[in-house]
Amino acid sequence: MTDLDVNYITDDVKALIGMESDFCEMPHPVEASEVRRFHHAVMDDSPRYSDAGASRYGGPVAPLGFPVHMYRRRPGEPDPLDGMDRPDRDGLDRKLRPGLPPIDVPLTRLLNGGYRYTFYRYAEIGDRIFVKSRYRDIYQRSGRSGVMVLFDIEDTYVNQDRELLLETKNTIILR
Amino acid sequence: MLAKTPLFDSINVGDSITPLVKGPMTTAHIMRWSSAIENWHRIHYDRTYAQEHDKLPDVMVNGSWKQHVLIQLVSDWAGEDGWVVEIDFQFRGMDVPGNTLTAFGTVTETRDCGAYGLVMLEIGLKNETGQNGTPGTASVLLPKAGGPPVPYPFDPAILAGAES
C-alpha cells in the first residue's frame, strides 16, 4: 500500500468539520512591548504603533494582523521545547487554535497554505482579545509530493467590548 | 509620518503602489520574528532539520512574517484616511536567508462606492530572481477628492452597491 491509498479523513477527523469554539480570551492583553517586538521584526516603523497622537485610530495601536499571533502558553500547558533533543521533534504542537481540539493526523510536515483577512478595527494597547474559531473543512488531496490533508479554519477576533477587529480564513496543510 | 492617502479619483487600473523592500534576509531576521511571536517551528532555525527532515533547501523565512509585510504594504499605501478591507494570499514559494524580498501591488479594478472608492489590487512578494512566492489580492477603500476620510472603524455597509 502506498501513502496515496491512506484515508486520513477518518470518522474522528470528520467529526471535527464544522466544530466551532466559544470565544477564548488570549492569555494577556495587548502589551506595548510585544507590539514593539512585532513591528520591529516586521521592519514596520509606522508611528501609529508607538505614538498615540500619530493616527486617528485611538492608540497607540497594534499592527492590523497582530491579534492572530497573540496566543501564548498558559500555566500548566506543555512546554513546546520539551523533547527538542529528539532529532524528529518539530517544535510545534497540533493544537491549531486555542478553542479547538488538536488534530490527530499521522503526518509530520506542517505548512501554512495561506490566509484571507478582513479588517474592521485596530487592536489597541491594553485591549483584551478574544478569538472564536471553526474548522470550516478538512479534506485530503494528492499532490506531487504525496498525500496532504488541508484544514480550512475560520477565526473571528473581538475586543473586550465584543467589537469586531478582524476575521480570517486560514489553510493549514499537513503532509 | 503616516503616508498621505491617495485619492480614489487619481487611481487608474495598471497603477503600481509604492513597493516595500526587505532584506537581504538573514537567520537573525528569522530568529527575531520567531521569537517575537514565540513560534518554535524547527524549520526556521535548525538547518539540518530543515534539509534532512523536511527536505527544504535551507531554513525558511516565515510565512507568518511575509503575511505581515504584505499587510504593511497595503496599509502603508492606504494611509491615514483609507482602509484595508481585505487581503488574501497563498504561500506557494519558499524564501531563504540571502533573499531580498520586494512587496508589490498593481491596481486591477476600481469600484465606486458613493462617497468613497474601492481599489482592487494584485499583490505579491518577489525575490531577486523575480519569483513571486506569495501571490494574492487586496481591496482598499479610499476617499475621493474633497470628500471625507473613510470612516473608522470600517463599516462593511459602505461596500453595498459598489459599482465597477
- The CATH number of the domain holding residue B148 is 3.10.129.10
Test mutation, A50, A92, A117, chain B, max B CBs within 10 A:
A117
The answer as to whether B154 is a domain residue is yes
CB-nearest partner of B36 from A37, A57, A109: A37
Query: Domain range for residue B73?
Result: 8-159
Q: Name the residue in chain A with its Cα closest to that of B42.
A: A90
What pLDDT, in 10s, does the model give residues B45-63? Answer: 999 999 998 899 999 999 9
Q: A46 touching B, CB under 8 A?
A: yes
Question: What whole-number distance in Å separates Cα of residue A169 and Cα of residue A118?
Answer: 9
CB-nearest partner of B91 from A40, A90, A114: A114
The answer as to whether B164 is a domain residue is no
- pLDDT value at residue A1: 47
Question: What whole-number distance in Å separates Cα of residue B82 and Cα of residue B34?
Answer: 30
Total count of domains within chain B: 1
pLDDT, averaged across chain B: 95
The b/e string for B109-129 (b: 16+ C-beta within 10 A; e otherwise) is: ebbebeebbbbbbebbbbbee
Three cell numbers at B62?
A: 516565515
Q: B35 touching A, CB under 8 A?
A: yes
Give the side-chain half-sphere CA count within 13 A for B144: 11
Residues of B in contact with A116 (CB under 8 A): 86-88
ipTM of the complex: 0.95
Region of poorest pLDDT, from B2-6, B56-60, B73-77:
B2-6
3-class SS shares of chain B: helix, strand, coil, % to 5: 25, 30, 45
- Residue the block writes with cell 504594504: B73
Three cell numbers at B7?
A: 485619492
What pLDDT, in 10s, does the model give residues B10-46? Answer: 999 999 999 999 999 999 999 999 999 999 999 999 9
Average pLDDT for consecutive 10-residue bins of chain A (175 residues)? 76 95 96 97 94 84 97 89 90 84 86 95 97 97 88 98 98 92
CATH, range A3-174: 3.10.129.10
Q: Do the Cβ atoms of A57 and B152 come within 8 Å?
A: yes
The answer as to whether B103 is a domain residue is yes
Interface of A with B in 122-161 (CB under 8 A): none
The answer as to whether B75 is a domain residue is yes
CB-nearest partner of B68 from A37, A63, A164: A63
What pLDDT, in 10s, does the model give residues B99-137? Answer: 999 999 999 999 999 999 999 999 999 999 999 999 999
